[in-house]
Chain A
Amino acid sequence: MQHVDGNALAGPLAEFFSFDLTTAIARCSGCGAVGELARTMVYRSGAGTVVRCSECDQVLATLVETADRAWIGLSGISAIEVPRG
């Protein structure tokens, strides 16, 4: 299936965070690239969602949703910055 991008994470991430995280700046722990989560590459399948760095393709995050649970792993993100105010 053709990939999409991090804009599509806005809905799933709302299960975990109370504000829109797609404009947050994340740092890839693989190559050090920084950018909004909306700029990541997103691969979806029936098994779940894989978020990859658009620079080095490293897996940044994985999401799995079932009827009664939502799970997120953030194995490839070394820092997240959000605006205050």
Chain B
Amino acid sequence: MGKTIAEKVLSSHSELDCSAGEIVIASVDFCMSQDGTSTMMIRELESLGFKSPKTTNGMTMVIDHNSPCPSVDVAKIHTRMRDFARANSIPLFDVGEGICHQLVPESGKVLPGDLVVGADSHTCTYGALNACSTGLGSTDVAAAAFTGKLWFKVPDTYSVIVNGKMPRRVGAKDLMLSVIGSVTADGATYKSVEFSGEAIDASSMDGRFTMANMAVEMGAKFCPFAFDSKTASWLSARGLGKGANVSCDPDAICEKKYDFDASDIVPKVAKPHAVDNVVDASTLKGTKIQQAFLGTCTNGRYSDLEAAARILKGKHINAGVRLIVAPASRAVLVEAIDGGVYAALLKAGATFVAPGCGPCVGTHAGIPGDGENVISTANRNFKGRMGNNKDVGIYLASPETVAASSLTGEITDPREVKE
């Protein structure tokens, strides 16, 4: 019987021939934590007498959620992370370097076929690189770092097939919002979601990162994409090896199949306060916005900034809108400066904040006012998510839709804006 990518990766890491539903103890290749989750992990590791990580390729910690530090309380947390990293020779990405889910792949810590865990729910992002990666609590990640392994339930797989060609100004974010709208916020709980089809073959690596990133918003555990020439080029451009690329067998058992036609996808928006509350952007015409946010582990990459700049270049955002941009990493920011994207956005009225999570989690760098609406490229729009729960509405959309909306001051289908 054939196997899914999840079954193959968990089989190779547990040295068992395992199938969906089984519980296995598997070796873990890499683990990570960020400044919102590290202190609990550190406490558990210290209680166990931790010396160094037993995971195959080690671990890292990233200061990205509250970066640069906004308060004395957070400074204590950051200092604790730096002290622990120094004492145990653990690589740490400090203030200004960027978001964990951009830095971990950029630094070559995840390769195809790897099994990776992180104390951040969007760790599923690395699925774009043909890896099985998933978010866990701090205690699970501490256990993985301490023992080099962890228990896993081998997940069933949902196959999502996307054929056809994506229309102009419609991208991976619109496709993923469509999928989440159909599957719902818990429709893929504990599943591995595998995308395939013409539109997936045609999608960029950045698009795949966007999609894998949001898999957890429908409850998924893994979201491994197939290895192809784009994966190989992405890795070789960064001087990285090919890893052990893994494919889904044609006769593997997938619990459910979903079919989407890419040519039917239009710009989408997830309305407050749920990620599966998805509608066409055009239906929200007239909904005023006071803040627009471009960034995050979902859409803070160079191609996202570039897509927004194409719409905003030579124009100026609406007088009633604040546009905040947080590049996903320093490398992304440098590329944006070199390519003219930074200047285009700045001249259009954008405010850049440091590479990192920016205002996504509501601790600093753009907390909305009472009663305001925000259009954002992030992955979550829960009530209070951006730090204010007083009638604040967060609308999730693509970089193109966020750029178009910041021009008009209301939610706008980007196909209506001329370049």
* A in complex with B: no
Q: Contact residues of B with A, CB < 8 Å?
A: none
